[in-house]
């Protein structure tokens, strides 16, 4: 009987030891490291939003204004560029009027293609051999001053593309006359020619002022939220 009690009394101890061994096998070995969690995936950067039609128009006008101010664009080049911009603006306005103030996807695509062509022309005109040269004289200084005023009007939106085209066409005519007079007089201008040029620039100056202070303005693009 004593042997039987010892036999059954030892059984729980054996079970307890077996359970301890199993638990020990489930625990990590001393000094071992848990595998590091996988790093969170970095989200891909969002693609930049395409500029709206209004933003594209404003960008083109800023580029033209910079070219006028720097002398990279002559009055004749600017007049042609702004004439093209005016045509695009007119077409855009007609499309919006026909569609309740909006542009269809096809119309937006068409406007963008047209602006791409003008963009290439702006770049070409700003990097060709034609630049505005005014000279260190009163006539030249007056010409440069008029160009700076036009550039400021374009950049601020006080002058529409059509108004800028007309103002630059007028300056182109004056520049052409100055060049012809200088060529005929060995590179100089007579007193009467200077007086005539100044009179024409006075008229152009009034036109620039009126265009910058009338009810017509180039709408500025609103930034996207």
Residue 103 has pLDDT above 60, yes or no: yes
Q: Is residue 162 part of a domain?
A: yes
Q: What is the pLDDT of residues 191-203, one digit of tens each?
A: 999 999 999 999 9
Residue 148 counted as domain residue: yes
Residue 41 lies in a domain: no
Q: Is residue 26 part of a domain?
A: no
Domains contained in the chain, number: 1
Query: Is 121 within a domain?
Result: yes
Sign of the alpha-carbon dihedral angle for 108, 111, 112, 113: positive
Least confident of 19-28, 108-117, 159-168, 188-197: 19-28
Torsion of CA 206, 207, 212, 216, to 10 degrees: 140
Q: Which of 53, 20, 25 is nearest to 221 (CA)?
A: 53
Considering only CA atoms, which of 98, 222, 223 is closest in space to residue 106? 98
The two tokens of residue 209 are 């002022």
Q: Which of 132, 16, 14 is nearest to 73 (CA)?
A: 132
**Structural domain includes residue 27:** no
Q: Which pLDDT does position 50 carry in this prediction? A: 76
Asked if residue 166 has pLDDT above 80, the reply is yes
Domain span at residue 113 reads 53-212
The pair of structure tokens assigned to 40 is 């969170």
Mean per-residue pLDDT of the chain: 85
How far apart CA 15 and CA 11 sit, in angstroms, is 6
Q: Which residues contact 126 (CB under 8 A, 6 or more apart)?
A: 63, 67, 72, 73
């Amino acid at each position: 009987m004593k042997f039987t009690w010892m036999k059954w009394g030892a059984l729980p101890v054996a079970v307890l030891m077996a359970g301890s061994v199993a638990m020990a096998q489930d625990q990590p070995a001393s000094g071992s490291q848990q595998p590091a969690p996988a790093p969170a995936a970095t989200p891909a950067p969002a693609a930049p939003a395409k500029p709206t039609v209004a933003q594209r128009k404003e960008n083109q006008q800023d580029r033209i204004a910079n070219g006028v101010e720097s002398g990279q664009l002559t009055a004749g080049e600017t007049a042609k560029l702004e004439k093209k911009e005016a045509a695009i603006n007119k077409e855009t306005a007609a499309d919006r009027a026909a569609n309740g103030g909006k542009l269809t996807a096809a119309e937006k695509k068409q406007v963008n293609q047209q602006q791409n062509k003008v963009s290439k022309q702006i770049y070409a005109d700003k990097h060709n051999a034609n630049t505005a040269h005014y000279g260190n004289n009163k006539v030249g200084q007056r010409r440069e001053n008029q160009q700076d005023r036009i550039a400021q009007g374009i950049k601020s939106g006080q002058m529409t593309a059509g108004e800028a085209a007309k103002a630059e066409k007028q300056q182109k005519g004056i520049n052409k006359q100055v060049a012809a007079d200088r060529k005929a007089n060995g590179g100089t201008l007579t007193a009467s020619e200077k007086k005539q040029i100044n009179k024409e620039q006075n008229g152009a100056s009034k036109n620039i002022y009126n265009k910058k202070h009338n009810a017509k303005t180039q709408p500025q693009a609103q930034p996207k939220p």
